[in-house]
């Protein structure tokens, strides 16, 4: 950053898998209880079970399991260079690493970004609030379906209607993690108005018989999501810059960061840190030699200078 190569105005969050060198990751090898997360592998006692999501086609998701670690990074999207990284066992949720990663980078590098970009997995109240209120930056993180209110419920003139087109019963207020909601419950279970008129839910709700039907919450506490301009042209253009982190991982893959030959968490951390330092050293060398267009030439840097 002191050299002026990294501006630190547009940042991105992401993580990548680091598979451990254990036979459990080789599906052709015989392994008892291959994906039992309670196990401690003899080949790498620090490795933990993680999940890999692959999207072969639109609206199609493939899930795979692996033993190993995850490298969490914060990068500058303009220069496509890493700013901060952390390696943890694969069972550590990346959502819980975002705020500590941002806080550590902010304190050590004195960052003042304009926006922080991430995929929908980072759509949590804690992450959005930290970026917006603490960092005074714009969170460019699309909504996750888990945080989107269901569209099958309707509200008109203060009346909440369930998917079965029945007026729901208000059951008062509730507060969860400092956020207050008005709770509405299934009218067939909680309202005398419809008692005896229906044998089952008109909308065939799956929780009608074992969990007393549907439940709908109206949030009263203001949410930071109201401050985010979802769907605007600028939001989409800035979010498209997130692909920079994929290119960073591709360059790190070229120097074998995701194929470590070491065992254990401490050694894997060092392995990943050395890979990131290598990328930064290549960029620094290219900048000081006047090759500004080659700051991202990791694999072919030296041959191109010859």
Q: How far is CA 145 from CA 6, 28, 36, 151, in A?
A: 34, 36, 29, 11
Distance CA 69, CA 275 (A): 15
CATH architecture designation of domain 10-141+228-305: 2-Layer Sandwich (3.30)
Question: What spatial distance separates the first Cα and last Cα of the chain, rounded to whole Å?
Answer: 27
- Global pTM exceeds 0.95: no
Contact 275, 69 (CB under 8 A): no
In the chain, where the domains are located:
10-141+228-305, 147-223
- What pLDDT digit, counting tens, does each position of 106-146 carry? 999 988 999 999 999 999 999 999 999 999 999 999 998 77
Band of pLDDT at residue 305, cut at 50, 70 and 90? very low
- Rg, Å, the chain Cα set: 24
Q: What is the largest CA-CA distance in the chain?
A: 86
Q: How far is CA 75 from CA 6, 144, 235, 280, in A?
A: 9, 22, 19, 11
Distance CA 120, CA 175 (A): 25
Q: Name which of 118-132, 138-152, 175-189, 198-212 the model is least confident about.
A: 138-152
């Amino acid at each position: 950053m002191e050299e002026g190569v990294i501006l630190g105005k547009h940042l991105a969050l992401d993580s990548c898998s680091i598979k451990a060198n254990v036979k459990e990751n080789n599906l052709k090898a015989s392994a008892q209880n291959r994906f039992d997360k309670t196990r401690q592998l003899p080949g790498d006692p620090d490795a933990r079970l993680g999940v890999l999501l692959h999207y072969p086609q639109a609206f199609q998701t493939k899930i795979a399991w692996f033993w190993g670690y995850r490298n969490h990074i914060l990068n500058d999207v303009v220069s496509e260079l890493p700013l901060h990284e952390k390696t943890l066992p694969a069972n550590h949720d990346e959502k819980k690493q975002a705020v500590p990663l941002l806080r550590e980078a902010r304190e050590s590098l004195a960052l003042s970004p304009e926006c922080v970009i991430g995929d929908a997995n980072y759509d949590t109240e804690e992450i959005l609030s930290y970026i917006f209120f603490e960092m005074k930056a714009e969170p460019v993180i699309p909504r996750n379906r888990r945080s989107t209110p269901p569209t099958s419920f309707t509200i008109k003139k203060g009346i909440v209607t369930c998917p079965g087109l029945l007026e729901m019963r208000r059951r008062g207020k509730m507060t969860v993690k400092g956020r207050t909601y008005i709770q509405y419950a299934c009218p067939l279970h909680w309202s005398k108005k419809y008692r005896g008129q229906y044998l089952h839910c008109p909308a065939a709700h799956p929780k009608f018989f074992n969990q007393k039907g549907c439940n709908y919450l109206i949030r009263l506490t203001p949410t930071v999501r109201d401050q985010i301009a979802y769907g605007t042209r600028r939001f989409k253009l800035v979010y498209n810059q997130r692909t920079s982190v994929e290119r960073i991982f591709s360059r790190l893959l070229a120097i074998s960061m995701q194929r470590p030959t070491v065992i254990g968490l401490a050694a894997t951390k060092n392995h990943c840190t050395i890979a990131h330092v290598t990328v930064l050293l290549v960029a620094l060398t290219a900048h000081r030699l006047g090759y500004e267009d080659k700051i991202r030439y990791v694999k072919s840097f030296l041959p191109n200078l010859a």
